[in-house]
Structure 1
Amino acid sequence: MKERPILFSTPMVRAILEGRKTQTRRVLNCDHPVVTGFIPNGTHYWQGTAISKAVEQQYISTFPRVVKCPFGAVGDRLYVRETWSTHACFDDILPRNIPVRSIHYWADGEVKTGKKRSSIHMPQWASRILLEITNIRVERLNDISEADAVAEGMIADDDYCAEEYFSMLWNEINGWKEKGWNANPWVWCITFKVIEGGAT
């Protein structure tokens, strides 16, 4: 079992803390036009499948036969990196020298002290949420169901269903072009449970 980092936006951290978010989708870096699916091929690996054997042979030099999941395998753990800050007196101090009690997490509400620190710069020791992967699958982004959109932390209302809110959030985070909703990229669909922090 290994622990790896995973970044979440502030609204998604809130959804995890409230027990509303148990899934996340991340772009799988494979957009080869002949790929029609991925099947498990070992613990961390997924094998690409092509439209046909003939097409696979035609693209043999570029066909993505095997892709490694960067988030690990079922049973592995992910420590959440989120936007944070510290008391202003620690603004110019290296993270390793900052006391844990001085950390402020932006998902907890407005922060009035210290400079804003990007989630990507959060060290593991400062993470307060630990997740365990319970399932991984590979699918097209647009294949998300309404139930999965709810598991992504979306809340339906009279204006939009959860899937529509998810598509808007996806474009906000990933842009509207190459990896946007309409591009329908392949994604890692990771289901998790909270081990530490949030709603366990």
Structure 2
Amino acid sequence: MTSDGKGIRLDVYLEGDSKVYDIEMQTTGKSNLPKRSRYYQGMIDLNLIEKGADYSELKETFIIFVCLHDPFKHNECVYTFENRCKEVQGLQLGDESTKIFLNASGNKKNLPEELKNFLDFLSGEEPRGRLATEIARKVELAVQHEEWRTEYMTLLQRDREKFAEGMEQGKILSIQRLLKKEMDNDFILSLGYTQEEIDEAEKQLMTTV
């Protein structure tokens, strides 16, 4: 979840003075990773900045998905995305948000040795190098710790519930923005929202007025 327990639970959340890292482990070949990265970015930004604070207080963020399957089917081990202008070559938006997808099944030929060892370990090979060996040791300790296993399963179930709640609340907030713009009921329904969601959005909106 975000660092103060709001919204969602992130696999690994590291926050320093100027940078934030969110690392997500992805073991299945789901196709919604780009939009999930967008969702996580939004939730992290909301957590970083208080209401009424200046946007300059937002820290540089890196969202990193560690995948066992190639999410983009180009056989790369590292896919790095930044926001850039389509019309002007080389012009970056400068919003200091980077999304990185690591692919354990890609071509590891030109990778740094530590990263190659790490991705090989994820693919099922024996751990080699400092990072992979240390991770393997920590995993073994966790497997042997009954209390940690129970806690993990409890958190996993809560994560799933929180993610579903977050998606639903996101719909409510979108409907509320439409209502504030005085969009009529039929138009909102035409966008794919249900009447129950519209009613809930109106109810929540009235309680905050």
Q: TM-score, normalised by structure 2?
A: 0.23
Mark the structure with the bigger radius of gyration: 2
Report the structure, 1 or 2, having the larger helix content. 2
Q: Which has the higher contact order (CA 8 A, sep 6+)?
A: 1
Q: TM-score, normalised by structure 1?
A: 0.24
Report the structure, 1 or 2, having the larger strand content. 1
